[in-house]
Amino acid sequence: MKQSQLFSKTRREAPKDEVAKNAQLLIKAGFIHKEMAGVYSFLPLGLRTLNKIIGIIREEMNAIGGQEIQMTALQDKKLWEASGRWDDAVVNNWFKTKLNNGSETGLAFTHEEPLTNLMKDHIRSYKDLPQAIYQFQTKFRNEERAKSGIMRGREFLMKDLYSFNVDEKSHNEFYERAKQAYIKIFDRVGLGNETYVTFASGGSFSKYSHEFQTLTEAGEDTIYVHEGKRIAINKEVLNDEVLKDLGILRRDLKEKKAVETGNIFSLGTKFSDALGLVFKDAEGKSKSVIMGCYGIGLPRLLGTIAEIWSDDKGLVWPESVSPFAIHLIGLFDEAGTVKKAANELYDKLTKKGVEVLYDDRDMRAGEKFSDSDLIGIPKRYVISEKTLADQSVEVKDRRTGKEEMVKMGSL
C-alpha cells in the first residue's frame, strides 16, 4: 500500500479524554478511531492487525477441530429466560432494546444460550458428537468502567468457541487440547512470555476455570504468579485449598498486575439442561450434552500487544501481527532518481507477495521517520541518494534499532 493513498493520518495528540496507553498509541498511529467511551472503530492499519490476529486464532481453532460459524447479535429473550440470564439482577451488563411490536430483544454479551438452542436441530445421537463450534462475533457489554481503551470495550469482537461432548472424560480431553491451542496462540501473537495459565473461579460447574492472564501494569486484575511452574492464581480464588490443589507454597508466589486476555470454562450441563440439548447414547438413553466455552477478546488482545510492544516513540509490532512486514521509506531527490528506484523496489516486493507499506509522500525525512516509529512495522527499508550511491538500502529493525546497509540485489 502506498502511504500517499492511505486515508488515515497519524496525529501528535490523542483525544484528551483517552487515558489508556493502548488507545492513545493506536489513535495517534491511525489504527483506530474513538467513537465514544468504550467504543472504537478499526481503520485500515488496525483492521490489518486485527485480521492477522484472527488468522492465527482461526488456524489454531481449526487445528483442534473447530468449525466456524457466524451467529447474530440480536437475541431471543425466551432463550435467555430459560437459562435465567435475562434478569438484570443476574447479568448486569445487558444492552436490551425493544422491537416495534413492543417485545424485547437483547444484544448478545455471549452466545451459550442461542448456540445451545441452535445445536438442538443438529445433535440427535452420540454419533453426532463431539463438536467444537466457534465464531468471531461482536459482543455488547454495558461495562461500568471504560478506562482501559480497547482492552475493555462496550462493543467488541470476541472469538468464542463452544464444545459439545458426550461425557466428562471426552470433555476434559478436549478442554486440555483447547488450553494447549490457547498457549500456542499467545506465543504466536508475541505474548508467550507474559501470559500465564491462571486458576480462576469455575462458576458452579467445575472447581476452576482457566484464565489466560497477561502481565501488564495496564491490567485490572491481580494474580499470583509461580514463575517456576509458569502458572498463576487469580487473587479472587487465592486460598489454602487452591495452594494445596496445585501443590505450591504461598511464599513462592509473586503478586502481579495482569489483564485477562482469554478464559476457558467447563460448563457441564447447565445450558444443555436449561435449553434441552440432549442426545441418545449407544443404549438409546437420553442424556444432556456436556459443554465448555473458550473466549478471547480480540481488541483486548490487540490492545495488550500495544501496551507491551511499544516504546516512547510508538508501537513495535511482533512480525506475526504487524499490519505490514516492511515499511519502505523513500527520501526523494529533485531529479526523481530515488523515487524511480523506490517505486521499482516496491513493485518487486509486492509482486513477491511481501506486504509493504510504501511511504511515497513528499515530506521531510524527519516526519517520515517519526511516523514510521509510531506505526511500528518491524522492518524499515530506507532508500535515498546516499544508499543508492552504494546500490543499497538501509535496513533498520524497529525493536532493536539496529541498522545495516544491504545491497539491492540481495534484499
Residues in touch with ligand ATP (CB under 6 A): 110, 141, 143, 152-153, 156, 158, 260-263, 295-297, 299-300
Identify the residue among 234, 263, 304, 322 touching Mg ion (CB under 5 A): 263
Q: Nearer Cβ to ligand ATP, position 143 or 273?
A: 143
User: Binds 158, which of ligand ATP, Mg ion, none (CB < 5 to 8 A, cut-off by type)?
Assistant: ligand ATP
Q: Nearer Cβ to ligand ATP, position 149 or 330?
A: 149
The DSSP code for 220 is S
Length of the chain: 411
Which region among 131-139, 144-152, 262-270, 340-348 touches Mg ion (by CB under 5 A)? 262-270
Furthest CA-CA distance within the chain = 84
Strand 392-397 versus strand 195-201 pairing type: unpaired
Residue 296 beta carbon to ligand ATP: minimum distance, rounded to whole angstroms: 5
Residue 49 beta carbon to ligand ATP: minimum distance, rounded to whole angstroms: 15
Q: How many CB atoms lie within 10 A of CB 94?
A: 20
User: Binds 156, which of Mg ion, ligand ATP, none (CB < 5 to 8 A, cut-off by type)?
Assistant: ligand ATP
Strand 326-330 versus strand 379-383 pairing type: parallel
Count of helices and strands (H, E) across the chain: 11, 23
Which region among 33-41, 173-181, 258-266, 352-360 touches Mg ion (by CB under 5 A)? 258-266
Report how far apart, in Å, the C-alpha atoms of 194 and of each of 151, 189, 233, 309 are. Answer: 16, 11, 15, 11
Residue 55 beta carbon to ligand ATP: minimum distance, rounded to whole angstroms: 18
Residue 411 beta carbon to Mg ion: minimum distance, rounded to whole angstroms: 45
Q: Nearer Cβ to ligand ATP, position 263 or 266?
A: 263
Strand 290-297 versus strand 254-268 pairing type: antiparallel
Strand 356-359 versus strand 379-383 pairing type: unpaired
Residue 150 beta carbon to ligand ATP: minimum distance, rounded to whole angstroms: 7
User: Binds 153, which of Mg ion, ligand ATP, none (CB < 5 to 8 A, cut-off by type)?
Assistant: ligand ATP
**Do 49 and 31 meet the contact criterion of CB atoms below 8 Å apart?**
yes
Number of residues that bind Mg ion (CB under 5 A): 1
**Do 345 and 328 meet the contact criterion of CB atoms below 8 Å apart?**
yes
Per DSSP, what are the bridge partners of residue 226?
A: 231
Report the candidate in 384, 356, 386 with the shortest Cα–Cα distance to residue 372. Answer: 356
Residue 396 beta carbon to ligand ATP: minimum distance, rounded to whole angstroms: 33
Q: Nearer Cβ to Mg ion, position 115 or 264?
A: 264
Applying CB under 5 A, the residues found at the interface with Mg ion are 263
